[in-house]
């Protein structure tokens, strides 16, 4: 079974981002970038499938600038066999929407013919939570989003999904798209030897012209602002004081 | 402009609060039709939706393949009735987030997730980077498809009496089959609409200790929330997670116990009216957003609080 794992380069989750005061966007130069955490989980799951003998090949793909090669090298070190960079823009500020990302991924799927795509449920920068579902829609494939457990057998995947109210288990015929939630697994640390090995693994580059996808965005970002800030309130010294404040000052308890 | 609102159905029932909030978010855009997709017993859900003020009509589709809200058949249904609408919308809960991006791809439109404000028919606000920035976006798609963050809108009141119209079901795409739901039915208020929320974090130390949070919540009629750490460690079930990648809440009172206040957690609760933090660490970031902070040992404070309330 062949697996395709889309990985996105995002601002590291530990970085407290700064919004440009002129409303033009978020400051992304000179900040630490990492692989989207949900994509790390997706890769880890793929690697475990390969270790169990369920999968035979893992292809990682990223759509972005040349810098996304770093993310792909990480993917190779984590256990992907090959990587594909779709060099979509030289301008790190250009917007590539999930619909375009999904269309590009659909072209890659047509070439690579994977049996399963495992994507993250959401990228922690744009928080769209859309790409996997859109890809499944474009391909006419089944989808299982927000996965916390995946079991492959007999041409289908049984997936436990984290939904409102609890869990849902469904069976989706392969090929399919699965998106990962936080509880699916805990990604391993990358070892030094695997980083060395990753340098020798193939990383192929494609251009948009190769794929023929129109990236014209449907959304125009008018401006990006800081949200309302909360200021710290007061310290209370005891449970009695807290109860008094909540009842008589804030009026949220009676 | 006419809006199609995909109603959220859970265990065969209308999730009225989410539908009512999504409805009030979009009523200024024009007339709103509510679409209900289910396998059977849809008449009750339809009657419930018909009562919400601002609904023009309810479209009801009942078919075996629509049971359990599987994305493929529901998305196919939405596509089949999309003609003539200017906007397609759903609440940004797991139901809508699973289905609407697929609908958007089928209709070649870009989905806009988690809308927190609607400026006009094509201009929307949504948070990015865990709520640390707010984007205003203009959509050029002829048909706009988006999910709305329920915590940002009040529910539309009852008092309507919209007609119910039956629509025919799409062919079953047969791509996935439902196996089982493991849903915990609770008497407690629902997390995203509760007026009060008490949340616990890693500081609780064990599943048994987490019961103290549940007791405090029950004492004041609150919903129970948790940090990711508490969920990962098994102290609390997954759907209690509050945060960037969990639930977004904005209650009148949010009590954070043994939670440090990582940006991912703050993203889910910083729009609460009053925030109380109980933490032993003077420097915990949660204290910087709390209206009332009580620094001390939660194992002494929480039982005392439960007793005195
Ligand atoms: C170079 C570049 C610059 C950009 N600049 C901006 C900008 O300034 N402002 C702005 O608003 N947007 C920008 N974008 C677009 C944006 O960051 C996202 O790529 C796009 O909107 C997807 O949304 P999301 O990340 O929220 O997707 P989600 O739907 O949340 O992502 C879910 C999953 O889809 C997969 N995925 C998503 N994107 C990619 C990708 N590029 N490559 C591989 N897999 C992917 C991953 O598995 C991910 O976990 C830029 C994109 C690129 C590539
Ligand atoms: C991709 C991604 C997505 C994420 N999404 C979310 C999300 O949606 N929601 C979320 O919550 N997190 C999320 N996180 C995790 C987040 O970064 C933090 O790790 C998490 O919120 C920490 O949980 P915590 O505050 O319970 O634990 P900690 O940070 O360990 O804090 C525990 C707190 O308890 C206090 N404490 C300990 N003992 C006591 C005591 N006896 N009395 C009083 N106080 C005590 C400590 O002082 C400390 O402040 C995400 C992370 C990533 C990478």
Q: What local confidence, expressed as pLDDT, does residue A95 receive?
A: 65
Residue with tokens 């492959």: A152
In the stretch 72-111 of chain A, residues with CB closer than 8 A to chain B read: 97-99, 102
> What is the whole-number distance in angstroms between the Cα of residue A184 and the centre of ligand 2?
19
Instruction: Report the alpha-carbon angle B189-B192-B196, nearest 5.
Output: 55
In the stretch 85-114 of chain B, residues with CB closer than 8 A to chain A read: 93-95, 97-106, 108-114
The helix (H) or strand (E) run that includes residue A46 is helix A37-51
Mean pLDDT, residues A52-69 taken together: 96
Whether A148 shows a pLDDT value over 70: the answer reads yes
Mean pLDDT (chain A) is: 94
A221 interface with B at CB cutoff 8 Å: yes
Whether A93 shows a pLDDT value over 70: the answer reads no
| Separation CA A242–CA A234 (nearest Å) | 10
- Sign of the Cα torsion B174, B175, B181, B186 reads negative
Does the Cβ of B241 fall within 6 Å of ligand 2?
A: yes
In the stretch 38-77 of chain A, residues with CB closer than 8 A to chain B read: 38
pLDDT band for A126, please (50, 70, 90 cuts): confident
ipTM of the modeled complex: 0.93
Interface contact flag, B94 A163, Cβ < 8 Å: yes
Evaluate whether B2-166 and B196-308 have a shared fold: yes
Q: What local confidence, expressed as pLDDT, does residue B187 receive?
A: 87
The helix (H) or strand (E) run that includes residue B306 is helix B298-308
Give per-residue pLDDT as tens, A5-48: 999 999 999 998 899 989 888 888 889 999 999 999 999 999 99
- The ranges of chain B with pLDDT < 70 are none
Q: What local confidence, expressed as pLDDT, does residue B41 receive?
A: 87
Give the CATH superfamily of B196-308.
TPP-binding domain (3.40.50.1220)
Domains of chain A: 2-223 (3.40.50.620)
Q: Which of B197, B202, B290 to mutate to test the pocket of ligand 2 (most atoms within 8 A of CB)?
A: B202
Which residues of B make up each annotated binding site for FAD?
202, 227-228, 241-245, 258-265, 279
Atom of ligand 2 nearest to the CA of B261: 25
pTM more than 0.95: no
Domain boundaries in chain B?
2-166, 196-308
The structure tokens listed for B138 are 């203009």
Is the domain defined by B2-166 classed in CATH 3.40.50.620?
yes
Whether A92 shows a pLDDT value over 80: the answer reads no
- Sign of the Cα torsion B205, A121, B118, B60 reads negative
- Sign of the Cα torsion B105, B107, B113, B119 reads positive
Q: Do the Cβ atoms of B231 and B245 come closer than 8 Å? A: no
């Amino acid at each position: 079974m062949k697996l395709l794992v889309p990985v996105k380069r995002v601002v590291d989750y530990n970085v407290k981002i700064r919004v440009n005061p002129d409303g033009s966007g978020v400051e992304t130069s000179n900040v630490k970038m990492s692989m989207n955490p949900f994509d790390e989980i997706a890769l880890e799951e793929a690697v475990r499938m390969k270790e169990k003998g369920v999968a035979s090949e893992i292809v990682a793909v990223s759509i972005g600038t040349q810098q996304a090669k770093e993310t792909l090298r990480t993917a190779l070190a984590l256990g992907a066999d090959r990587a594909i960079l779709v060099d979509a823009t030289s301008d790190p500020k250009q917007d590539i929407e999930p619909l375009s990302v999904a269309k590009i991924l659909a072209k890659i799927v047509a070439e690579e013919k994977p049996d399963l795509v495992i994507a993250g449920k959401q990228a922690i920068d744009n928080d769209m939570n859309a790409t996997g579902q859109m890809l499944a829609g474009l391909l006419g494939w089944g989808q299982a989003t927000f996965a916390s457990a995946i079991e492959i057998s007999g041409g289908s995947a049984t997936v436990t999904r984290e939904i409102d109210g609890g869990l849902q288990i469904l069976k989706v015929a392969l090929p399919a798209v699965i998106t990962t939630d936080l509880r699916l697994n805990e990604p391993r640390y990358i070892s030094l030897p695997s980083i060395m090995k990753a340098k020798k693994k193939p990383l192929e580059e494609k251009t948009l012209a190769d794929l023929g996808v129109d990236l014209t965005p449907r959304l125009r970002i008018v401006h990006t602002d800081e949200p309302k800030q909360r200021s710290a309130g007061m310290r209370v010294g005891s449970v009695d004081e807290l109860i008094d404040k909540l009842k008589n000052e804030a009026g949220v308890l009676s | 402009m006419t809006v199609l609102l995909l109603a959220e159905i859970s265990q065969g029932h209308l999730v009225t609060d989410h539908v009512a909030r999504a409805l009030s978010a979009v009523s200024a855009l024009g007339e709103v039709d509510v679409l209900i997709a289910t396998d059977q017993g849809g008449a009750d859900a339809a009657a419930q939706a018909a009562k919400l003020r601002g609904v023009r009509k309810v479209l009801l589709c009942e078919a075996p393949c629509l049971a359990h809200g599987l994305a493929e058949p529901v998305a196919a249904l939405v596509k089949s009735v999309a003609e003539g609408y200017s906007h397609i919308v759903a609440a940004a809960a797991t139901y809508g987030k699973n289905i609407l991006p697929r609908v958007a791809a089928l209709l070649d439109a870009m989905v806009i997730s988690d809308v927190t404000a609607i400026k006009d028919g094509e201009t929307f606000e949504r948070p990015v980077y865990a709520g640390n920035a707010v984007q205003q976006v203009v959509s050029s798609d002829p048909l706009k498809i988006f999910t709305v963050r329920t915590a940002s809108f009040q529910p539309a009141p009852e008092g309507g009496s919209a007609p119910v119209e039956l629509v025919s079901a799409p062919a079953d795409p047969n791509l996935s089959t439902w196996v089982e739901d493991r849903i915990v039915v609770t008497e407690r208020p629902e997390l995203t609409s509760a007026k009060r929320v008490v949340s616990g974090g890693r500081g609780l130390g064990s599943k048994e200790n987490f019961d103290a949070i549940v007791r405090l919540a029950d004492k004041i009629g609150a919903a129970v929330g948790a940090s990711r750490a508490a969920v990962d460690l098994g102290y609390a079930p997954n759907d209690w997670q509050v945060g960037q990648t969990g639930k977004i809440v904005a209650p009148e009172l949010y009590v954070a116990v043994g939670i440090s206040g990582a940006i991912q957690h703050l993203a889910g609760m910083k729009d609460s009216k009053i925030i109380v933090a109980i933490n032993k660490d003077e420097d915990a970031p949660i204290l910087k957003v709390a209206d009332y902070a009580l620094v001390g040992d939660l194992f002494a404070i929480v039982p005392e609080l439960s007793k005195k309330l």
